[in-house]
Amino acid sequence: MSRRSLQHIEPVYPKSSSKKKFDHQGYGAGSPPYLRGPYASMYLKKPWTIRQYAGFSTAEESNEFYKNNLRGGQTGLSVAFDLPTHRGYDSDFKNIYADVGKSGVAIDSIEDMEMLFDGISLKDISVSMTMNGAVLPIMAFYICCALNQGVPLNELRGTLQNDILKEFMVRNTYIYPEKASMKIVSDIISYCSEHMPKFNPISISGYHMLEAGAPAEIELAYTLADGLEYVKTALDTGMKIDDFAPRLSFFFGIGMDHFTEISKLRAARVLWAQLMSEFNPENPKSLMLRTHCQTSGWSLTAQNPLNNICRTSLEAAAAAFGGTQSLHTNALDEAMTLPTPQTAKIARDTQLHLQLETKITKTVDPFGGSYVVEQLTDDLIEKASRLIESIINAGGMTQFIASGAPKERIAKAAIEKQAEIDSGKTLIIGLNSFTTDADESIKILKVDSTKVRKQQVERIQERKRSRSNKLVEEALEQLYLGAKNNTDNLLELSVIAAQKGATLGEMSYALERVYGRYSAVAHPIKGVYLAGVKDSKDYLEVKEQLKDYISKKGRAPRLLMSKMGQDGHDRGYGAVASALEDLGLEIHMTPLFQLPEEVAKKAVELEVDAVSMTSLTAAHSSLIPELKSSLQKHKSQALVILGGIIPKSEYTELHNKGVDLIFGPGTNILKAASLILKQL
């Protein structure tokens, strides 16, 4: 099923074409099924919360960034953690050196969390934390930080993402296997329902599915099916539906298909109310879907980046028209780097313009009654309902994920989209149409991970010197036994361990001793990319180049593709591997989270002609030189290829370090294949 056909929009929608199944008449905002919004007045009294997903380097630097944002009009915090933190590693762990502080803030201990919120009252500010792997230590640090500020837990407001199921599909910042992870999710929901009634213990996320390539109805269906799985897991522990359902929250991505994105949020509310009604809640808030939204990062281009301001504005408007409760707007430079204070201000001001200058907050559900939006809402409800029913019939989302089907379906959609862009069937301004050679270079924010890691290691060492290691060991043993015996609430035990001085890595390892670490195998998907580009001129040229190469060498070129470091985002990794294999190259893929030495050994074992690394988090600056050194040590002459979010300002330095080819964001894979063949 193609991505384009799923988002098809008719030129005209007369009133007679509407199915009227979910007509806006009788479905007012603030009443089930909440088609027009979860609250009767929506933005009339209070507009959506303005958030800025941010965090980088050290807790002190992020703290200053947060304070500046709050002074500039931001109304809620959204914390981005670095990848070692996500994956449950302290900053002194030997294998994660390249990622410390790079794509988020490094948090190793309660002291780091206290520095992160220094001078920011957790009683007065809503805090969103995007964390799914190391949720227990991060939540424990946050709770301890609040208590140390003197804030009662029942006053805390905010959201923990805690949506582990989608990690197994798209984002890959998991630690433990599915069953153990679901136990952790359930314990957090239980703890928060008892102690933190204003806090959302989970944000069920479709955003990362959209970013990984999922079309609207798949994002919608898989997200709600994840939510349904969490509800059933919580009920299985003895909780009642009204104990926790009113505090469940959602998180959707907003792309450039304007009317579809508006309709998606409206459809989500109706579908969730339908699903939850099956549990016979007494509280109507248990039927209510409240959501945060974020504009798409994938839609941003490194080419002509000032265009991204317009893209983000259009996506932000769609989120507001659809009725979001909070919103993050991406900065114009996020296709290349972390946002600078200037670009973050532009992104934040975009929301202020919408709220204060456009008057779109003066009416509820402004597109309600629009023939096109009502019809698209109906269509999405129907398509997503069928998908959800098939998941339920397959045994639920956990079993469905274990089958590998959702990950593969999303990956196929992403490859289809890439083929459409590369062949010119889908136009993106500044990338494959209306291009310009004008220099639009922008300031790049760089993080010195070596400096950050040194500082974090010193803090960890000082922390361990000043604490009672005996009390820490006892607390960690209790956490281990709680997981092993499946008895106590793991968040309660994590809070105790945090209070005694345990680090994030120590708590994560206590659980790893019981649960182990989850790992997944990557492989190319055949046939999808070729079907989309086989009639293009560029494909025919690549086909001739490959034929010439094989006639000279006696075989197809052999390429090892790798994901080094702790970055689990694999949309580009999978799409490029699948495309190149379809084009006729022999492709091998390493597992995620590799070290340079591991990749080099595999390259020698397979006798490959080229080795590539895909990077989205700036870890390449440390990992690529080590890969080149390891290849030389093993006497491999393989070309070194680098792809992903690589600022052009770094190209010369990277070539000097031994990189043969560099492919930045938005690269046409057909043209990249041609360059690889020429270089070989």
Active site residues: 53, 207-208, 563, 567, 569
Buried b / exposed e along 408-436 (16+ C-beta atoms within 10 A): ebbbbbbbbbbbbbbbeebebebbbeeee
Query: 550 is written with which tokens?
Result: 């094989």
- Specify the pairing of strand 126-130 against strand 639-644: unpaired
Report the greatest alpha carbon distance in the chain: 74
Task: Report whether the peptide linkage leading into residue 137 is cis, meaning its omega lies within 30 degrees of zero.
Answer: no
In sign, the C-alpha dihedral spanning 353, 354, 356, 357 is positive
Residue with the two structure tokens 């979860």: 38
Q: How far apart are CA 522 and CA 561, in angstroms?
A: 10
**Residue 660 neighbours by CB under 8 Å, 6+ apart:** 610, 639, 640, 641, 679
In this structure, which long-range contacts are made by residues 533-537, counting pairs with CB atoms below 8 Å and at least 24 apart in sequence? Answer: 533/419, 533/422, 533/423, 533/670, 535/423, 536/422, 536/423, 536/424, 536/670
Q: How many residues does the chain have?
A: 680
* 199-200 β-sheet, strand order: 199-200, 158-160, 126-130, 76-80, 49-54, 326-328, 291-295, 248-254, 202-205
Q: SS3 for 304?
A: coil
CB 200 within 8 A of CB 159: yes
CA distances from 125 to 117, 122, 199, 250, 584 (A): 10, 5, 12, 19, 54
CB 496 within 8 A of CB 478: yes
CB 503 within 8 A of CB 555: no
Crossing angle for the helix pair 490-500 and 504-515, to the nearest 10 degrees:
140
Q: How far is CA 303 from the centre of its chain?
A: 22
